[in-house]
Amino acid sequence: MNALAAFAAGLVFGIGLILSGMTDPGKVIGFLDLAGRWDPSLAFVMGGAILVGYFSFALAGKRGRTFLGGALHLPTRRDIDARLVAGSAVFGIGWGLAGFCPGPALVSLGAGIDQAALFVGAMLAGMVIYDAAERLAARKASSPAGRS
């Protein structure tokens, strides 16, 4: 049931990405190009998503459990550290270079676009490198309590 809900959510998410224009790297770069001919569309994407999201997450928080009776898995960290800022900045550089972020890249892969396949392959490689580096760091640290 959880998996079925997740599939439906992924499908709606992907259709939203296509309709919004996020799967067009030219449009994404047009939004980031403040000094050129600026396309403000993506501000409307975020505005629409956050408008719906704000009330949904408020409802989820108030209920405390899902409608299927399961537990909520929500992030609890509130600290702002160098990893958060530097990691996000590195992501932003990659985003600006190609105009793809993870969701639209996967949808474009589903549409059979070759360049998206290359991008997703490289993205997965980056994630595998991160995972390996984290495992190595955890093994080096004497304390057995790793980060969550």
Partner 1 sequence: MTIDWAHFTPWSSLAGGMLIGAAAAMLVLLSGRIAGISGIVGGLIELRRGDIAWRLAFVAGLLAAPVALLFYSVNPRIDAGLGTLALAGLLVGLGTRYGSGCTSGHGVCGLSRLSPRSLVATGAFMAAGVATVFVTRHLLI
Of residues 9 through 28, those in contact with partner 1 by CB under 8 A are 9-27
| Local structure of residue 75 (DSSP, 8 states) | -
> How many residues bind to partner 1 according to rule CB under 8 A?
115
Residue 56 interacts with partner 1 (CB under 8 A): yes or no: yes
- 14 backbone dihedrals φ, ψ, rounded to 5°: -65, -40
Minimum distance, C-beta of residue 143 to partner 1, in the bound complex (Å): 20
Candidates 62, 80, 139, 148; binder of partner 1 (CB under 8 A) is: 80
Report the C-alpha gap between 28 and 43 in whole angstroms. 10
Candidates 90, 137, 138, 141; binder of partner 1 (CB under 8 A) is: 90
What count of other Cβ atoms lies within 10 Å of the Cβ of residue 30? Answer: 18
